[in-house]
A and B are shown apart, each in its own frame.
Chain A
Amino acid sequence: MTAGQVALVATLALPALGAAAVALVPARADRAGRVLGTVFAALALVASLLIYRPDGGWFGYAPANRASAVRPWHELDLTWVPGLELRFHLGVDGISYPLVVLTTLLTLLCCAYTVGRSPGARPGRTLVALLLVIEVGVLGTFLALDLVLFFLFFEVVLLPMYAVIAGWGGDDPRAEAGAHRAAARKFVLYTLFGSVLMLVGVFTVVAAAGTADIVALTGGAGLSRPVQLAAFALLAIAFAVKSPLWPLHTWLPDAHTQAPTVGSVMLAGVLLKMGTYGLIRVAVGVAPEGARWAAPVLGVLAVAAIIVGALVCLAQTELKRLIAYSSVGHMGFVLLGVATLTATGLQAALIGNIAHGVITGLLFFLAGAIKDRFHTGALDDLGGLRERMPALSGLLGYAAIASLGLPGLAGFWGEAFAVVAALRRGGPLWTTLAVIAAVGGALTAAYFLRLLRRVTHGPASPVVAGAGGAPIAGVELAAWAPLVVLALAVGLVPTLVLGLAQGPVGALVEAVR
C-alpha cells in the first residue's frame, strides 16, 4: 500500500471509527463524546489533505496504457463481492478532491459547533456520531470508482440525515408539532424515489456493460444508444432529486427549515453536491450519448430552477427558507454548467459546487445564530439587526454578497462561467438560456439585498430590541472563520479549484465528445 492509498482509506475509515467510538460513549460523558467526535473529524480533514498529490499531475500517475478519461491520483482496488460486481474501488482526482476536502472541512466545523452549542433535549454525542456517518457516506460517494459501491455509499447518507432532521430538528416553537417529522419524511420519500431509479440505472448499465468499474465505463464503454439513453434518464432523475433540480426540489425548503443548524449546513454544503457530482461523474461519464441527447432538457430545467428559485426567494418571509430556495437557484447554475457539456461549463459547475457549499454553509450557520438568539426566523419580526449586533450583521452581509455573485468572492465564478459556457455553446436555444440565466443572476442580487434590508437595516424591531442578543461566541467564530476565508480565497484565486479540475475535466470532455 502506498502512502496515498493509506490516506485514502484513512479519510474514509476515520469518520467511521469516530462514529462507532462516539456511539459507545456513555450518556454522562456527553461533552467528552462530542469532543471525541470532533477530534476524529479533524483527523479525517488531515487525512483528506494528505491525499493531495502536488507533483503527480493527472497524466504522470496513470499507467500509460490506460485510455480512460478517469485518471485517479491514488487508487485502491480490492475485491469485495465479485458476484455482485461490487469492488471496493476508491480513487480521487481533481474533480472529486475539492469536494472531499469541502466535506471533511464542513463536517469538522459542524462537529466543533456542536461541542460549543449543545443541541438541546437530545444527546449531542449522538448528533455528532450521525454527522460522522453522513461524512462517511458522502466521502465514499465522492471517492467510489465502482458504480455499485457508489450507490451503496449514496444510500448510507439517507437514514442518518433523516434521523438528524427528525430527531434534532424543529426548534421553531411556532411551527406546528411534528412539522420536522413531516419534513424528514418528505426528504426520505424523495431521496428513496431517486435512489430506486438510480438502482435501476445501475442495473441497466452493469447488465449491459458487464462491469461496474467507473474508470472503464467512462466515455460510454461501447454501450448501445438505447441503453445509454435509458441509463442517463434514470441516473439523471436520481441525481436531479438530490441536487435538487426544479421541479423535484420541493423537499429541500422543508428539510432545511426544519433541520437543526448543523443539519442544514451538511445538507446544503455537502449532500446536494452528491447530486451534481454524480451527474458529472456517473451520468455524463457513463452515458455521454444520453447526456448529449438530454442536454437541452437539462439546460431548460436548470434555467427554470434559477428563475423559479429567485422569484420564490423574493416572496419568502422566513430566513432559512429563503436561503434554502436560494440553493435551488444556485444549483440551477451548476446544472446549467453541466448541461452545456463543455470544459468551461463543467469547470463552472465544479467551482459553483464548492462556492455554494462554502457560502451557503456559512449562511445557514449565521441563520442558525440569529434564530438561536431571537427564536424566530420570520423576516417581519427581524429588522435593525445592525444596531444590536453589528458583527453578526456584517458577516451576514458578507455571506449574502458572496452568495449573490459579487466578483472577487467565490460565488461569482460559477455563475458567470455557467452563463459564458451557455453563450459559447451557441445556437438560439443556448443563447436564450444564457440570457435568462443572467437575468436570474440579477434577481439573485435583488432578493439578497431585500434580505439584508429586512434583517440588518432599518429600525430595530421589537423582537430584536427586546431579546438579549448574546455576543458572538468563540466557538461560533471558530466555525465561521474558515468559511469566510475560503469564500474570499476561492473568489480571489479560483485556480485553487479550477487548476485541480482542469486536467480531469478536459479528459472527461474529450471522452464524452
Chain B
Amino acid sequence: MTEIGLPPINYGAITPMLILFGASCVGVFVEAFVPKAQRHLVQLVLSLGAITAALVTVVWQADTRTVTAGGAIAIDGPTLFLQGAILVLGVVSILLIGERSLERGGPFVAQAAIVVGSDADRNQTVRQPGATDIYPLSLFALTGMLLFVAANDLLTMFIGLEVLSLPLYLMCALARRRRLLSQEAALKYFMLGAYASAFFLFGLALVYGFTAGTPSGSGDNGGGVDFATIAAAVRNSEVSPALLYAGIALIAVGLLFKAAAAPFHVWTPDVYQGAPTPVTGFMAACTKVAAFGALLRVLHVAFGGASWAYTPVLGAVAALTMLVGAVLAVTQTDIKRLLAYSSVANAGYLLVGALAVNKQGLASTMFYLVAYGFTVLAGFAVVTLVRDADGEATHLSRWAGLGRRSPLFAGVFTFILLAFAGIPVTSGFTSKFAVFGAASGAGHTWLVVVGVLSSMILAFPYLRVVVMMWLSEPGESTPSVLVPGGLTAAALTIGVAATLVLGVAPESLLDLTNRAAEFVP
C-alpha cells in the first residue's frame, strides 16, 4: 500500500482561523452546558476574547508571506490586511450584537422556533432574554470570512463561502420583533445564496476543465483549481478560452452576489431590512470585506492574465451597480433600505477599484473596505438607537425633527451620512478619491465618470435625511433616541472616530495598504 503524501501545513499562519473555529466550538458547548442566566456574559467575553486573540496573531504574523496547506491557503499582505480588517470590524459588530440595555433582552429572539404570533411568542417578546446562539454563529461566519480571503484555490474558497454564508442565513432570522419579516429575509437570502453558490461551483468546474493539460501544483498534468495553475493556464493554454470565460462569468456571479452588486443585488434591501440591525451592520461591514477580498484575489491572481477580457463586462456590472444603487436609494422611505441601496452603490465603487488590476487599485480597494466598514457600522448603530414602543423606528418620516429631540445623535448621524456622501474631511471622501484615482490611473476614465455622477445622485437621499432631521418640526410620532448602553456607545465611538481619522489623516492606513498590496505568486 502506498503512503499517501501529506502536505506540510504552516500552523502558525493559520492560527487565527483555528482560534476562531475553536472558540466557536466552545461557544456551542457553552450554549449546551452553561446555565441560561450566565450565557450572555460568557459568550460575549469568549467572542471578544477569541477575536482579539485572532487579531493579535494576525498582527504577529504581519511579515509572513507563504502559501501553505498544499497550495490551498495563501498568507500574504492582502490576506493579512483583510483578515485584520474583518476581525477589527468583527469586534465592533460583536459590540453591537451584545447590546442588551436598549431593549429588554436584546435585539434577538429567545426561541426562533416558536410560531410567530402565538401566545408563547408574545410572551417571549416582552419577557425572555434573547438567545445567545448568535455568538457562535458570528464566530463561525468570521472563521469562514478569514478562510475566504486566504483561499488560494477555488475549492477552499467555496468552502469558505459556505462557512461564512450558512451562519449568516440563520443570523438574519433571529430578530426579536417583526419576526415574519426577519424570517422571510433569511429564507430569501438562503434561497438566492444557495443559487449563487451553485453558480460558483459550476464556474469552478468549467475552469477546472479549462486547465486540463496544464501542470498543476501537485506535479501531474491533470490541471487544477489552485490559482497558480489557473494563472499558468490563462497565460499559456492553447485551447479555446470559451470555457475560461464562461467559468470566470459564473464564478463572478457567485462572488458578486455576496458583494451585493447589481444585477445580483435584489436580496440586499429585503435582507438588510428584515435582519436584526446589528446583524445588518455585520453583513454590511464584514461580509463586504470578505467578498471583495476573495474577488480581488480571484481577479488579480487567478485571472489577472485575462483582465482585458473581463474588464469590460465587470466594468458594465460596476456601472450598473453604482447607478442602480444610487437611483433606487433616492426612492426609499425606510432608513435600513436606504442604507442597503447605498451599500449596493458602494459595492459598485469598490468594484471600480477592484477592476484596476494593479497595486494602486488593490491598495485603494482595501482602504475603501475598511473605511466603509467603520462608517456603515456606526450608521447602523445609530439606527438601533432610534426607537419607539414597537422597537426601532426605521421609517424615514419618523425621523423628521430628530435634530430637535436629540441634537447629539442627529449630529453624529449627519456626520455619518456626509461620510457616505463623500464630503471632504470624512473617510468617505478619501476612500472614494483613492479608488477613483486608481481607476483613472488604470485608464478606466468612463468608470470614474459614472462613479462621480452616481455619487452625486446618491448624495441626495442622504441630504434628504439630513434635511428631515434638522429642518422639520418634530411631530407626535417622532420617536425618542435612547441613550446607548456601553457597548453600542463604544461601537458608535469607534466607528465615528475611524470615519473622522481616516478622513483627516488617512496616511498611516494608506501606507499600510500600500505595503500590504502584493499577492504571493
Contacts and interface: CB of A to CB of B under 8 A. Distances in A.
B79 interface: no
B441 A83 contact: no
Interface stretch (B158-166, B215-223, B449-457): B449-457
A159 interface: yes
Interface in B433-484: 433-434, 436-437, 440-441, 445, 448-449, 452-453, 455-456, 459, 463, 467, 470-471
B424 A152 contact: yes
Nearest to A82: B507
Contacts of B470: 163, 167
Nearest to B513: A83
Contacts of B436: 199, 203
B510 interface: yes
A203 B456 contact: no
A81 B456 contact: no
Main secondary structure of the interface of B (DSSP, over half): helix
Contacts of B471: 166-167, 181
Contacts of A188: 459, 463
Interface string B491-513: 00000000000000111001100
Nearest to A152: B424
Contact of A81 (B455, B467, B507): B507
Nearest to B455: A196
B488 interface: no
A314 B449 CA distance: 40
B301 interface: no
Contacts of B437: 84-85, 203, 206-207
B430 A81 contact: yes
A84 B430 contact: yes
Nearest to A208: B440
B251 to A, nearest CB: 31
Contact of B506 (A83, A153, A181, A197): A83
A207 B440 contact: yes
B514 interface: yes
Given A81-B430, A81-B507, A166-B467, A200 B424 contact: no
Nearest to A198: B452
A369 to B, nearest CB: 26
A200 B418 contact: no
A128 interface: no
Interface string B211-235: 0000000000000000000000000
B69 interface: no
B434 A83 contact: yes
Interface in A134-152: 148, 152
Nearest to A191: B456
Size range of the interface on A? 20 to 34
A394 to B, nearest CB: 38
A475 interface: no
A221 interface: no
A162 interface: yes
A166 B423 CA distance: 19
Most central of B434, B436, B452 by chain A CB within 10 Å: B452
Interface string A193-224: 10111011001101100000000000000000
B332 to A, nearest CB: 17
Contacts, number: 71
Nearest to A234: B449
B423 A192 contact: no
Contacts of A85: 437
Nearest to A206: B437
A155 interface: yes
A155 B423 contact: yes
A83 B512 CA distance: 11
A195 B436 CA distance: 14
B411 to A, nearest CB: 10
Given A83-B434, A162-B463, A192-B459, A200 B507 contact: no
Contacts of B511: 83
A61 interface: no
A59 interface: no
Contacts of B463: 162, 188
Contacts of B510: 81, 83-84
A156 interface: yes
Contact of A199 (B425, B430, B452): B452
A240 B440 CA distance: 24
A155 B437 CA distance: 17
A178 to B, nearest CB: 10
Contacts of B448: 200, 203
B452 A196 contact: yes
Interface in A446-476: none
Contact of A196 (B424, B434, B456, B506): B456
Interface in A19-74: none
Contact of B507 (A83, A152, A155): A83
Nearest to A156: B424
Most central of B418, B429, B514 by chain A CB within 10 Å: B429
A405 B456 CA distance: 39
Interface in B71-115: none
A413 B436 CA distance: 43
Contact of A159 (B423, B456, B506): B423
A200 B449 contact: yes
Contacts of B434: 83-84
A15 to B, nearest CB: 15
A204 B445 contact: yes
A42 B453 CA distance: 39
B214 to A, nearest CB: 37
Interface string A80-121: 111111000000000000000000000000000000000000
Contacts of B418: 159
A107 to B, nearest CB: 20
A90 to B, nearest CB: 16
Contacts of A199: 433, 436, 452
A203 B440 contact: yes
Interface string B412-436: 0000001000011100011001101
A195 B467 CA distance: 21
A295 to B, nearest CB: 25
Most central of A85, A188, A203 by chain B CB within 10 Å: A203
Contacts of A158: 423
Nearest to B363: A83
B514 A200 contact: no
Interface in A154-195: 155-156, 158-159, 162-163, 166-167, 181, 188, 192-193, 195
A26 to B, nearest CB: 12
Contacts of A155: 423-424, 429
Contacts of B449: 200
Interface in A302-342: none
Contacts of B441: 207
A298 B120 CA distance: 74
Most central of A84, A85, A193, A204 by chain B CB within 10 Å: A84
Interface of A: 80-85, 148, 152-153, 155-156, 158-159, 162-163, 166-167, 181, 188, 192-193, 195-197, 199-200, 203-204, 206-207
29 contacts: A81-B430, A81-B505, A82-B507, A83-B434, A83-B506, A83-B507, A83-B510, A83-B511, A84-B437, A84-B510, A148-B433, A152-B425, A153-B424, A155-B424, A155-B429, A156-B425, A166-B467, A166-B471, A181-B467, A188-B459, A188-B463, A195-B456, A197-B452, A200-B448, A200-B452, A203-B436, A203-B437, A204-B440, A207-B437
Complex A-B, nearest 10 residue pairs according to Cβ-Cβ distance, in ascending order: A196-B452, A83-B510, A203-B440, A152-B424, A207-B440, A192-B456, A196-B456, A155-B424, A207-B441, A81-B507
Given A83-B511, A200-B452, 16 more contacts: A81-B510, A85-B437, A148-B433, A155-B423, A158-B423, A167-B471, A188-B459, A192-B456, A192-B459, A193-B456, A196-B456, A199-B433, A199-B436, A203-B436, A204-B445, A207-B440
Interface of B: 418, 423-425, 429-430, 433-434, 436-437, 440-441, 445, 448-449, 452-453, 455-456, 459, 463, 467, 470-471, 505-507, 510-511, 514
